Structures are given as structure tokens and as C-alpha cells.
Structure 1
Amino acid sequence: MTVMLSACYRAGDGIGRPGYCLRFKYDLETVNALKRIPAIDREWRPRTKEWWVAGIRDTELTKIFSNFEAFTKYQSSMF
């Protein structure tokens, strides 16, 4: 799967767990791949049209999005 993220930034969930908010052009296969991540570690945010995924799922995100590591590496250099 080689879907490109259009945005990726660090964010917490409703109880403060660290993770990432993700935006990408709609692709059913990508959405289904995200839904294979346990529901406790992901959520769809309809108001902002983005997904939140727990930081512990970075291995899965690297497999789903070809540019996930580039986004996270760039952000790490900012902090």
C-alpha cells in the first residue's frame, strides 16, 4: 500500500494518550487498513475529517503510509 499522507501531527486522544492525527485523500483500502488497528488505538474525527492513531501503532502506520516516517522524523527534529 503506498498512500501518501497530506498531514500528520502529534496529538492525544480524549484521555491523553499520545498519537498522531492523520489526513490523506480518501481511499477505501487505506480506511480498511486503519480499521484493522484495534478500535481502542484509533478514532475517526468527523469534524476535522482526520484519523487519530495511538503512537504505539507506528509500525502499522509505516506500512500503510509511504511517507509516515518522513513526517515523524521531521517533527522529531522540531522538539
Structure 2
Amino acid sequence: MTVNNKYSNNSEATHVSVTHKVEEGSQITETKVSEKRATKKATFVLPIELHKRLKTAAAEQDKTMLEIVEEALGNHLKI
């Protein structure tokens, strides 16, 4: 018998937007592409001020909040 609930360790595939930067001489070209990769859902509770700053930074950088969190975690964990 298989039990699926919010504590199950089920992974899923999600389409994510990835930015590729290509340097051609003195120009840098950025291209956003969608790619599929395995993901795992995580839920976090953030202090209100941190959430506001994250949301503002995402808008200013034309990124999603998830892209910023993934980048920050990757840098913190040295991935």
C-alpha cells in the first residue's frame, strides 16, 4: 500500500526558466530558456520585511522570487 501525503518524499519535474549568458566580443547576450528538471517542493515562513525585500529585489532584477532564493541558497551552500 502506498501512502501519499504532504510528508511523502515525492519528487516532481518542473519547467524552470534558465538564463544563459553568452559573451561575444564586448557584448553580452542573455537568453532565457525553459528546461525541465527534478524538483522538490519546500515551504518556508519568512519574516515580513525579508519577504518584502525579496519581492522588491525580484521586481527590480526582472527575476522570480524563486530564482533569487535558488541563487542565494546555491551561493550559501557553495553549489
TM-score by length of 1: 0.32
More relative contact order, 1 or 2 (CA 8 Å, 6+ apart) = 1
Higher percent of residues as helix: 1
Answer with 1 or 2: which has the greater Rg. 2
TM-score by length of 2: 0.32
